[in-house]
Amino acid sequence: MIQILSRIATRSPRRAISASNPCSSKLHRAEFSCWDPAYLGNSTVSPSCTMRSGDGNSDGQDTPLAEGKDHGCSPGVQSTPDIEKKYVHRVYDAIAPHFSSTRFAKWPKVAGFLNALRPGSVVLDAGCGNGKYLGFNPECFYIGCDISPPLIEICAGRGHEVLVADAVNLPYRENVADAAISIAVLHHLSTEDRRRKAIQELIRVVKRGGLVLITVWAVEQEDRSLLNKWTPLCDKYNEEWVDPSSPMVRNKSATMLDSIEETDEDTGAVKQMDDRLKNSFDGLEDKTLIMDEHDKTQQEYFVPWHLPFHRAEIGGASAAALQNGLAKKDDKKGTVVYNRYYHIFVEGELQRLVAGMKNAAIADQFYDKSNWCIVLEKL
């Protein structure tokens, strides 16, 4: 195990925050650094780019990480769109303790996947959240990463091997894991290129013959009433989503994102929001950009998270979020309401993202608990 962890190192000079339980004596741990602070948004990291390992460096000194190949994706794919920074990263940083307290049940399909792995397998959980799947099968070894430093701190406090990392730019060498899971992560990525790149990264880090399980929220929800509680977005809001031939739409829509109200259970607000969208496009020649539920399946949503007042008072994140408009108070429910960005998947969309990837084949695909799921095998 010591040798396995010491080989799982970054292949890039960028840095990531690593965290592990210093009290555990079972294993010597390897800590990884791979990204610069700007790439992680609000995170703070040390300026050095090192890997500290209890094996192979008995004096405990930091040793430089070997630089690997370029990640092979364009800066546009690696660069995090503002909508993800604001409505995914910052939100989960603010709600991390409360979110973690609600995430303890294991999905049977995920549990079955992990339990079917060979003893001794190294498993990567990319987007591990509070780490509920880390260590699930005690016969396997686990490493995890997530974009949220507060969630990674929770994982580290539970003794897991984790670090802060971006799903589209994983800081691991190729062929280091026997399996990887990405549970409810890809639907937080706002462009098709970023979703495809995240899948490519999962395939890259597993060994030949290794399996990758991916689950995403489905448009085809078992409880259709949930859709009325979510705020639908026009898929042309963010400039990363707009065709370069439509600069007027890009400029117009850039000012609209912050004006969307959180609907929660007020289904009437959804219609009001639709009317505001249509009014905003008055005068534009390209009327095809207007969201029309009869012409197109709606896939972009804000999904609310209600943080109880007593939870919000623990730290200053919610106060700042209320001040800058990232969150709103719901005095009736006694909560601070955050909006989380979701791109929910239609049937066959995961398969289309994988199409053309010559180093992976679909081993299984299924629908489970309002999620589309796929298992890939690396060729």
**279, part of any domain:** no
**87, part of any domain:** yes
Q: Which of 53-62, 108-117, 225-234 has the highest mean pLDDT?
A: 108-117
**273, part of any domain:** no
- The predicted-structure confidence for 214-264, as pLDDT tens digits, reads as follows 999 999 999 989 988 999 997 444 444 443 333 332 233 332 333 333 333
Give the list of residues 6+ apart from residue 334 with CB closer than 8 angstroms, or none: 308, 309
Residue 78: predicted pLDDT: 78
**182, part of any domain:** yes
Residue 309: predicted pLDDT: 87
Q: Which residue has the higher pLDDT, 180 or 236?
A: 180
What DSSP letter does each residue of 16-58 carry, written as one string?
A: --EE--TT--SS--EE-----GGGGTT----S--EEEESSS-T
Cα separation, 264 vs 339, whole angstroms: 10
Torsion, Cα 203 204 207 211, to 10 degrees, reads -10
Cα separation, 202 vs 58, whole angstroms: 32
Q: Which domain holds residue 189?
A: 82-222+345-378
**171, part of any domain:** yes
| Residues above pLDDT 90, as percent of the chain | 54
Give the list of residues 6+ apart from residue 309 with CB closer than 8 angstroms, or none: 334, 335, 336
Residue 238: predicted pLDDT: 45
Whole-number mean pLDDT of the chain?
74
CATH of the domain at 374: 3.40.50.150
* Average pLDDT for 318-345: 91
Q: What count of Cα atoms within 13 Å lies in the side-chain half-sphere of residue 182?
A: 33
Residue 36: predicted pLDDT: 32
**278, part of any domain:** no
* Burial of 277 (C-beta count, 10 Å sphere; 0-12/13-18/19+): buried
Q: What is the count of structural domains for the chain?
A: 1
**126, part of any domain:** yes
Per-residue pLDDT band for 379 (boundaries 50, 70, 90) equals very high
Residue 51: predicted pLDDT: 29
* Average pLDDT for 34-38: 32
H or E segment to which residue 277 belongs = helix 268-280
Q: Is residue 278 predicted with pLDDT exceeding 70?
A: no
Q: Sign of the CA dihedral 57, 61, 62, 65? A: negative
Query: Which residues sit opposite 368 in a β-bridge?
Result: 371
**155, part of any domain:** yes
